[in-house]
Structure 1
Amino acid sequence: MHDHRQGESAVTWLYPKLVKGEGSDDDVVASARPDIASNGMRQMGAQALQSIGDQVVSAKTVLPWLLTAVGAPGSLLAFLVPIRESGSMLPQAALTPWMRRLAARKWAWVGGAAAQALATAAIAASALGLRGWAAGAAILAALAVFALGRALCSLASKDVLGRTIPKGQRGQITGIVTVLSGAVALGLGLSLEVWGGDVGAELLAALLLGAAGTWVLALIVYATIREPETEPGESGDGSSWLGRSWQLLRHDPTFRRFVLVRALLLVSALSPPFVVAIGVANHGGDLTGLGLFVIAQGVANVLGGRVFGRLADRSSRLLMVWCALGASAFIAAFLVLLQVPAARDSEWLYPVTFLLLAFVHLGTRLARKTYVVDMADGDRRTEYVAVANTAMGVLLLAAGALTGLLAIWGNEWALVLLAVLGVIGALMGRSLPEVSAGSARAA
């Protein structure tokens, strides 16, 4: 018992050193207020472990290399990002009625983490035991299970965060997790660069098995969160989840505008692959090293995590606006520099642009996650998160198809469209209401 109290005391001392309160704790129920520090540390620990795994199970870096290493057909590469990203968003509105029936939402996160651990282990087993079409199909099937587990974690994490942590601290928690995952990504990327040898299926399978272990540790930590249990909510009013989602979008203008703004902010998410494709076309295979882009993502997370986390707590609305403008400006500068032969032939133009876009994309992600958690309470928050993510899953597929069509005439045209959409999103974002604790205190 003495050791337990000492551990709690250490947590109580460390948490305020990491997270600065921007507002009161009135938006957290009284029974949960004594556990804010311990719950915050547990969520940071579990989500940091999950983020470590995410650096390995990446549809933009590691998994494309894995499919190539096992001899899977190149056509399967096109399915990685849609399955990983849209697959984790589309089911969320359908999962909401079930989620509302849970008194403690942390168990949904635990189940989602277990699914991701098993799916990651299955991907590793496929890499070791299969080749060609069979390996590719098995990896994609496991990735679909992974995405479903991620949908549960995404939906539950924001709900648990809102129930246990007050406004003014939520963005900082996400920011600290981002810094930790960025440090891991940086270490992984540097290790791959130092390795310098063939990054084969066996090495990637070993990394994947290690990543599966991080999700097991994460679910153990997350299960210890002291979430205030409430009476299970009703599963709905008898209408289908699709009908309820449509009604929410139709009758809640603020929420509808947020979803539209978030869709327009896809500029920083969708543009990096086109930058890489242009670089590869101009430099052959010199820009295709796995470590290089893992390093760029890690540097962006380490540099931006704490800063963007605090800015999100002050005004997540303004952070969305400025990051969208930043992404559009970086794309415009990149397109201009492509017209200059010396810049176009430089090996630094493409990784630096990738880094800058990863940096502002991080700010966009932290801002919109904090905004949607702060804008509602209780089961309304669960619904907001689910419907927004399901709508984004559909819009992500549509935007990917549209930019892919434009890319037939040249990757530059896809980037032009994304830059224009980013500016429109920033202008619309200015009209969103302020919901952050920092902006309310300033007012």
Structure 2
Amino acid sequence: MMRQIERLYSALMRRNPESEREMPPAVRADIAPNGVRQVVANTLQSSGDQAVNASTVLPWLFAVLGVPSALTGLLVPIREAGSMLPQAVLTPLVLRMRRRKWIFVAGAVVQASAVGAMALVAAVGHGLAAGVAIIAALAGFALGRCLCSIASKDVQGRTIPKGERGQINGLATTAAGLVAITLGVTIRVTGGDDLGSAQFAGLLGGAAALWVAVAIVYAGVREPLPEEVEGSRSDDREDGWLRRMSDLLRDDKPFRDFVAVRGLLLVSALSPPFVVAASIESGAGALSGLGGFVIASGLAALLGGRLFGRWADRSSRRLMSVGAAVAAVIVIATVAVVSLPGFEARGWAGNLFFTAVYFALTLTHTGVRVARKTYVVDMAEGDRRTVYVAVSNSAIGVLLLVVGAISSLLAAVDVAWALLFLAAMGLVGVFAGSRLPEVSRR
């Protein structure tokens, strides 16, 4: 069985023998089985995410259940900021755990429970009460994701060598993209835009089962104890955590620069909804179906996951800069085209244009996500890595709320202004990202 797993891992990955030799002997023997388990667990988790997408699936569910539209605007902030902001507070709990995989398993169980609760509400709920219950469950889901985010990068850093970590993330993204395309096609064929509450309940129930499987698979990861991994200990303990967090952002220039660059990379994350809004204003209809959204995001993940995973292992810093540049250019070009006199998106040409823009931005965001995940894992070791992940995610949670508020205010005047603001951030991110130190194994 071990030989088969080794062959499978070697077939999936472009292995880095030099980095593998630098791993402690106790870790080196388990690289392949640990890598396969992390690919499978991350694939299952990313596939479940498609069924709980706060930008597509949950707004549609709210419409089916008759939830007031005012609550729809809370979905993305709760999902995104809720999974980031608590990380600095929860890090002392994580640092007390010698094997961090159990934090990930606990987070997966929390997510399974939260999505199961959403499925129940979808089956029997309606109106305002259903909306409030789903938002409460989404907050619990975000907390579970928060735990998984803190733990997963530390476990990956302990068990997978540099030069292979980006490919782990990329393979999981690719496989999840295939699942998303299948799901999107199924939605289009079986329900189109007329999905009922029963179909949503079944979809969410299936997603809850996926997170149970995530917990089971990840529990089998053979994570070494801290003393078995060279350089895995640090002085970052829970005492005076808030002070240590502020000191880290003030005194650790490479880390502070990474957080700043990551904030500027929000252009690829926040611009797609505004592109959809621009398409609606222009009369396009191609993006109006739920299945179409899911298919577009899945195709981007399928095409970009493996490519960007290998690129991130060569230079995650360069991939972040290129991603910011491409996203900014796409956004600026979109605004320029939409601003042309007489432009309207009714008809196949306009629909194709906005579909292509949405797909391109989603593809770019796939690369940015793989790059920044790989960068933060490669830039530190041991407990220092855990601290970096938690503090950067908490800081980005705050920036997400601030940038989201500014772009929303600009969009109230004109969607084009919001897009140009995000594009300007991306252009600054190109230059800031190029100044980051190289941490990848070339």
TM-score of the superposed pair, with normalisation by structure 1: 0.95
* Alignment deviations for residues 389-416 of structure 1 (CA, whole Å, 9 cap, x no partner): 0000000000000101111111100000
CA, structure 1 residues 379+238, in 2 after alignment: closer, same or farther (shift >3 Å)?
A: closer
Residue number in structure 2 paired with 1:268: 268
Instruction: Report if the CA contact (8 A) 2:193-2:289 is conserved.
Output: no
* Alignment deviations for residues 32-84 of structure 1 (CA, whole Å, 9 cap, x no partner): 11000010001111111111101101001101101111111100011100110
CA, structure 1 residues 70+240, in 2 after alignment: closer, same or farther (shift >3 Å)?
A: farther
1:349 shift after superposition: 1.6
1:282 shift after superposition: 1.9
1:8 shift after superposition: 1.6
**Letter of the 1:133 counterpart:** L
1:230 shift after superposition: 2.4
**Equivalent residue runs for 1:6-405 within 5 Å:** 7-22=1-16, 23-26=18-21, 28-195=23-190, 196=192, 198-230=194-226, 239-283=239-283, 287-340=287-340, 341-342=342-343, 344-345=345-346, 346-405=350-409
Instruction: Report if the CA contact (8 A) 1:101-1:235 is conserved.
Output: no
Whole-angstrom distance in 2 between the partners of 1:197 and 1:29: 53
Whole-angstrom distance in 1 between the partners of 2:286 and 2:209: 33
**Letter of the 1:177 counterpart:** A
Match of 2:411 among 386, 390, 407: 407
**Letter of the 1:282 counterpart:** S
CA, structure 1 residues 298+238, in 2 after alignment: closer, same or farther (shift >3 Å)?
A: closer
Whole-angstrom distance in 2 between the partners of 1:432 and 1:373: 15
Whole-angstrom distance in 2 between the partners of 1:261 and 1:119: 32
Whole-angstrom distance in 2 between the partners of 1:16 and 1:421: 39
**Letter of the 1:305 counterpart:** G
SS of the aligned residue for 1:404 comes to helix
SS of the aligned residue for 1:25 comes to helix
Whole-angstrom distance in 2 between the partners of 1:234 and 1:117: 33
Which is further off, 289-298 or 238-247? Answer: 238-247
1:320 shift after superposition: 0.4
Instruction: Report if the CA contact (8 A) 2:285-2:351 is conserved.
Output: no
1:287 shift after superposition: 3.3
Whole-angstrom distance in 2 between the partners of 1:236 and 1:183: 40
1:240 shift after superposition: 3.4
Cα root mean square deviation, aligned? 1.6
Whole-angstrom distance in 1 between the partners of 2:287 and 2:182: 19
SS of the aligned residue for 2:403 comes to helix
* Alignment deviations for residues 138-190 of structure 1 (CA, whole Å, 9 cap, x no partner): 00000000000000001111000000000000000100000010001111111
Whole-angstrom distance in 2 between the partners of 1:285 and 1:137: 30
SS of the aligned residue for 1:228 comes to coil
TM-score of the superposed pair, with normalisation by structure 2: 0.95
* Alignment deviations for residues 313-334 of structure 1 (CA, whole Å, 9 cap, x no partner): 0000000000100000101111
SS of the aligned residue for 1:348 comes to helix
1:350 shift after superposition: 1.4
Instruction: Report if the CA contact (8 A) 1:70-1:132 is conserved.
Output: yes
1:343 shift after superposition: 6.2
Whole-angstrom distance in 1 between the partners of 2:374 and 2:194: 40
CA, structure 1 residues 333+343, in 2 after alignment: closer, same or farther (shift >3 Å)?
A: farther
Residue number in structure 2 paired with 1:3: none
SS of the aligned residue for 1:226 comes to coil
1:29 shift after superposition: 2.7
**Letter of the 1:145 counterpart:** G
Whole-angstrom distance in 2 between the partners of 1:359 and 1:152: 26
Instruction: Report if the CA contact (8 A) 1:319-1:364 is conserved.
Output: yes
CA, structure 1 residues 92+15, in 2 after alignment: closer, same or farther (shift >3 Å)?
A: same
1:103 shift after superposition: 1.0
Unaligned runs of 5+ residues in structure 2 are none
Instruction: Report if the CA contact (8 A) 2:111-2:145 is conserved.
Output: yes
Instruction: Report if the CA contact (8 A) 1:98-1:235 is conserved.
Output: no
Report the identity percentage.
52
Whole-angstrom distance in 1 between the partners of 2:314 and 2:202: 41
Instruction: Report if the CA contact (8 A) 2:105-2:218 is conserved.
Output: yes
**Where has structure 1 moved over 3 Å in runs of 4 or more?**
231-240, 284-287, 340-345
Whole-angstrom distance in 1 between the partners of 2:40 and 2:391: 27
